[in-house]
Structure 1
Amino acid sequence: MKTMVNHPGILLSVFFLLMLAVAMPAAAQAQPADHSRQVKALATNASGALLVLRNGGLFALEGQAVTEVPLPPAASGAEPRSLARGADNRIYLAGPGLGVWRYDSASEHWQSLNDTLTEAGITAIAAHATQPNTLYAYHEKDGMFRSRDAGVEWVKVDSGPREPVQAFLHSDMPGSMESGWLFAGTTRGVARSMDCFCFWGDAGELRGAVSAIAYDPEAPENVYAVIEGQLHHSPDGGETWAGVDVAGVVTALTFSPTQGLVLGTGNGDLLARDASGQWASVHE
């Protein structure tokens, strides 16, 4: 009578082959991540089209039509990362090594606004909610700059929050001593100041590095911020915050006049709430 030997090495080999047989079909179907599609920033233009800044370029999406918008020549080797639409619907683009540029829709060309601005350290731009010629730019070393003549001349107005600013906006939310509020997404959370630059303080107790921030122009007390890919909402101008469930990593925000809050994600999706309140793709 032969004795059966339970050999550990043989059992492990059989187990490995079985696992390999299961994994190979899934591996064959898996596609490498397309990092060029990641959404870095969002805005809308005068016609309501979505402007989507990806690692692979800038695109205008209207309905199912996609039009590439060539970036400024200076964007080669730079890091475009911030979009803003002015009160007169003009579009601004900014980022480290790029500074601030304005798009002329008539000529379809970009104009540099860096004559009095050190472009190397600009990390974010914001446009005043109601004043067409007032812009704000944040320089990672020198602080907050403002232009009252659409970027012809920039003047430092403030050192900014204590922590570096990664995204910010101007809001016409009521209650300011001047013409509105600045909300800054910093590496610590959301900071807030009246646009008289009287004082930067914490907007609530939301903590973490904020990569995107937006507000509802129709209801300015509604502010949204993204921390480490997670969407958060404040219904009271930044006093309190709550997380919002979204499938995937959120990387960019904007408000569309037709679709409301639009999210950009790390895998390139664009999402908005449908009639049932669920997040759905706004462009296939």
Structure 2
Amino acid sequence: MTNSTLNFEPDRRHFLALGMGAAAVLVLPGAVRAADRAADIRTLAFDGDTLLIAGATLRASPDDGGSWEERPTPAPIASIATHPARPGRLLAGLAHGGVAVSNDGGATWTARSEGLASGEVTALAVAAGNPDMFYAAIRGDGLWKSEDAGATWALAMDRPWLDEAERDPLTLASVDLETGMGGIWIYAGTEKGLTRVPDCFCRWQDVQPGNAMDALVTGDAPPAEAPLPANEPVLSLASALTTPSTLYAALPSGVWASQDGGVIWSHKAKGQGRAVAVHPRDENHVSALLDGTLKLSRDAGATWTAITVA
């Protein structure tokens, strides 16, 4: 896939290209269609006030689920990322390989995969302090980095080594913390838990209290005080840009939150967590996929309201 405009119109050819499963959704009763759309969700993101849900299709809601609009997708989406400094820019990691970028909220797409390894893009992130710096995790390969908004890519880091094997990042988050190298950490959720690397890409390490350099020098910094459940997959991460120390995570045990960069975690919602996103201007405004239902919280996960995906 090279950097070229993807001509895409949501016509009959689009629906056929999505496959028979997606085509079947179009002819089922409304209640079933809504359930299928929720089940299809693989990833969530906020583009300003607009909530995005993506999988085989891409849907957008400007009013927390009050209304929905389907937008074209270049292919089934495995991961999606945005940055508040670039409203309308959507970065999509494609399930069949490659990255696509939209600068108009998903109306049109451009392939941005020059030099990127082939394979499913399992996770994407945009650097907290640089909206033109992208990170992508490729299944079976490693962590890739683009410094020119996806025009070119280069390998940045091998996959994290956890429990005697390399593990694919299932989710990524760029976190602007003073304890990082130059203020930036890249957090990765894997099938064996949470890990992170400073933006120097020196070494993956456990989340620990204290400074990144201290941990790299000593190699035996103290562990997190109340970490996420051991050996449980971390399927989705979200960092609150307004309060960088605030993180949310979706795990099979539910939604978890940390107020100190991942050292201490608290359980915010029980259920099968699949995806989570936080509003770019309000760290208490969170959306999550729990037990196959899209939910919204306005109080940092203390209470949740179900959202119908119409």
Instruction: Determine if the alignment matches structure 1 residue 235 to structure 2 residue 259.
Output: yes
Residues matched between the structures, number: 247
1:229·1:251 contact (CA, 8 Å) conserved in 2? no
**SS of equivalent to 2:37:** helix
Q: Contact (CA 8 Å) 2:188, 2:195: kept in 1 or not?
A: yes
* Structure 1 letter corresponding to 2:115: T
> In 1, distance between residues paired with 2:233 and 2:291?
16
In structure 2, the residue matched to 1:22 is none
1:220 aligns to what SS in structure 2?
coil
State the distance in 2 between where 1:234 and 1:275 align.
Answer: 10
TM-score for the superposition, normalised by structure 2: 0.72
Q: Which residue of 1 aligns with 2:143?
A: 144
Greater CA drift, 259-268 or 194-203: 259-268
Q: How far 1:283 moved relative to its partner?
A: 5.7
Letter of the 1:280 partner, please give it: T
| Residues 185 and 191, structure 1, Cα contact 8 Å, conserved in 2 | yes
Distance 1:70 1:94, change over 3 A: same
Per the alignment, residue 204 of structure 2 pairs with 200
CA displacement, residues 135-161 of structure 1 (integer Å, 9 cap, x when unaligned):
001112221110000001101111031
Larger radius of gyration between Structure 1 and Structure 2: 1
- Give the Cα separation in 1 of the matches to 2:233 and 2:106: 38
State the secondary structure of the residue aligned to 1:221.
coil
Q: Does structure 2 conserve the Cα–Cα contact (< 8 Å) formed by 1:157 and 1:197?
A: yes
Q: How does 1:1-284 map to 2 (within 5 A)?
A: 34-38=35-39, 39-46=41-48, 48-55=49-56, 57-63=57-63, 64-72=66-74, 75=75, 79-86=76-83, 87-89=85-87, 90-105=89-104, 108-162=107-161, 163-203=167-207, 204=224, 205-206=227-228, 207=230, 208-246=232-270, 248-256=271-279, 257=281, 260-273=285-298, 277-281=302-306
Question: Counterpart in 1 of 2:21?
Answer: none
Contact 1:136/1:147 (CA < 8 Å) preserved in 2?
A: yes
Q: Any idea what SS the aligned residue of 1:233 has?
A: strand
Q: Please list the CA deviations of residues 174-230 of structure 1 after superposition, one character each: whole Å capped at 9, or x if unmatched.
A: 222224111100111110111111221122343211111112222211212122141
Change in Cα spacing, 1:84 to 1:32, as seen in structure 2 (3 Å) is closer
Once the two structures are superposed, residues 69-103 of structure 1 have per-residue CA deviations (whole angstroms, 9 ceiling, x without a partner) of 1111xx1xxx5221100342321111331321101
Q: Given that residues 226 and 251 in structure 1 are in contact (C-alpha distance below 8 angstroms), is that contact kept between their aligned partners in structure 2?
A: yes
| Corresponding letter in the other structure for 1:190 | L
Query: SS state of the match for residue 34, structure 1?
Result: helix
Q: In the TM superposition, what is the alpha-carbon distance from 1:31 to its structure 2 partner?
A: 7.5
Q: For the residues of structure 2 that align with 1:249 and 1:229, how far apart are their CA atoms?
A: 6
Counterparts of 2:305 and 2:112 in 1: how far apart (Å)?
A: 37
Equivalent residues of 1:214, 1:225 under 8 A apart: yes
Instruction: Summarize the Cα distance change of 1:240–1:59 in structure 2 as closer, same or farther, 3 Å threshold.
Output: same
Please give the alpha-carbon distance, in whole angstroms, between the structure 1 residues aligned to 2:68 and 2:157.
39
Matched AA of 1:170: S
Distance 1:135 1:141 in 2: 19
- The one-letter code sitting in structure 2 at the alignment partner of 1:71 is T
Moved over 6 A (4+): 30-33
Residue ranges of structure 1 left out of the alignment (5+ in a row): 1-29
Give the aligned residue type for 1:60: A
TM-score, structure 1 as length reference: 0.78
Q: After TM superposition, give the deviation of residue 277 of structure 1 in Å.
A: 4.2
Contact 1:147 1:154 in 2 (8 A): yes
